[in-house]
Structure 1
Amino acid sequence: MVISCRKLAGIGKAIALKAARDGANVVIAAKNHRTTPKLPGTIYTAAQEVEAAGGKALPCVVDIRDEQQIGEAVKKAVDTFGGIDILVNNASAISLTGTLETPMKRVDLMLGINLRGTYLTYLKAGHPHLLKSRCPHILNLSPPLNLNPVWFRTTRVNHGHPLLPDFFLDAEPETLAPPPSSAGPIENTFDLIKGVINDEVVKATKGIYQFNRQHSGVWFMDLKNGAGSVGRGEPNVKADVVMTMDSDDFTKMFAGKMKPTMAFMSGKLRIKGDMTLAIKLEKLMGRMNSKL
């Protein structure tokens, strides 16, 4: 198995560990061979985890935009393990900005990694080595088109726990303004939500949400304990999902005037935490909209 990654974290690393637990030989092709403040692990520490999980690992420093580096990594893989059965193209780059606001440097990066990188790894690993395999597979990964759980079924591989897409990992929380002194749309929205949640909703959700709202501070929704609760400030325990969004857009989303999927894909909504619970909240909002 060859896993190509821009940085081995999140989904890529979880796939490698799942394969290792099944006894696979894993070639880790990624750039991060040195630790950084944002990404403390490297291909070498990931290789240690792969072998600790039961597999064999071959870490290779690779920029997947570089044809020569890919060719060298594939040769090492074949020389070490005798062939290639599975290619996982996990490396990706994304910029959640409008067309006119996206600089060409970012466009070149996305095309170089998402298109050129995927094409190069297929040419080098797919021809001729995958053709020699008795059961060849290629898995190409990309950000989901929406938050439908079907897009995440191949990614629930880390001991059954849902995974966070790699492009959320570097997101920094936005600066929050002090809460307003008087009631407004956000307060009214949470008052209405309070009247909708009940034991049944809590039982079906089992999650704690924190909402970082510009201009209206931090709010929480506890759909894990008792009959549920909502309120201003951070929850008493660590939130399972943290959502950051402009106050006006937040009100529109809970009123059914803005779809969470579109808010997320356009960059208006930023999510950190358990993606499965984020999906559950989207479904819950659909039921709430008819009552709010």
Structure 2
Amino acid sequence: MKVGFYLKYKKNSINSRGNVVGDELYAESLCKSLRKIPGVLNAELFAPNYLPKEKIDLMVYLNDTKPQYRLAQKHILYFQNTYSEIDVYKLVKKNQQINYDGYIFSSPRILKIHESLGCRGIFLPFAVDLELFYPQQKEEKYKYDVAYIGNDIKGSQYTTRYLAPAINYNFGLFGNWDSQFRYRFWKNWKRQPEYKKIFKNLSKGKISKEDAASLYSNAKVSLNCSSQFCLDWDVVTGRTYDVLACKGFLISDKVPTAQKYMDDCMVFTDGGEDLIAKIDYYLKNEEERKKIAQRGYDYVVNNASMDIRAKDFFNYFKTIL
């Protein structure tokens, strides 16, 4: 079996000036795990600037890309992106009309909508590459009280509620927090939310996956701030698993699936003053922090490794081919 994942953006976002594309990093790790499975001759990430040289057996589309029939025999839509201000019912119906050969969802709620409209699919939550994310040695430069990796894409309300409270701590912030073009004109500078100016100065910029693992291993508290889409549609972010795989202690917003299966593996917050109170408490209680982090690590190793998830993908692929 030769399989591919198709990204609608150009590859190599880690070296670009823009945001790192999480889809790209995740798919590269997933392909690596798929290549370990007997029966998979090759698994590779493709993009407009990197296409297969010959027709492959199956292509999985990471974004809302129509099937590229010249590239593969079978086509699967992987509905794993986050969207804002959309009618999910209409989007699901629109995707069904395209007639992919299969459908994979990162949201159990959206899968139910898909099935209610008469089509089959499968729910596969995100996972973590344990060859990249695992407990690291102590490194002084990453010993922050609080840490977060991400880009300025969650919106003012959620950033203010779930991230801004960390400003008054020893806060390790990484990712693209530079103001968007519309704020670069002086007349617009005062219009941007206050956190944007602060986070722009705080951010250390992009960070490699290897250094991210070191950060999660060394920071006392890591934060998870999901998009509105993830909260509405019950999607556990990949960041959640990355932190836990490093035996990192995580404080997260409330996603139902995470609360159901990992309630004792992290701490959940309503943000704002509640987040501040929980950061203060766990900074003072190291042993309790470590016990929770250990449970999170054990859960991920046994249930959410990329190798485990790759087998789930492979088993589904076999039903399509």
Shorter-chain TM range is: 0.3 to 0.5
Structure exhibiting the larger radius of gyration computed from Cα positions: 1
TM-score between both structures, scaled by the size of structure 2: 0.34
TM-score between both structures, scaled by the size of structure 1: 0.36
Select the structure with the greater relative contact order (CA < 8 A; seq sep ≥ 6).
2
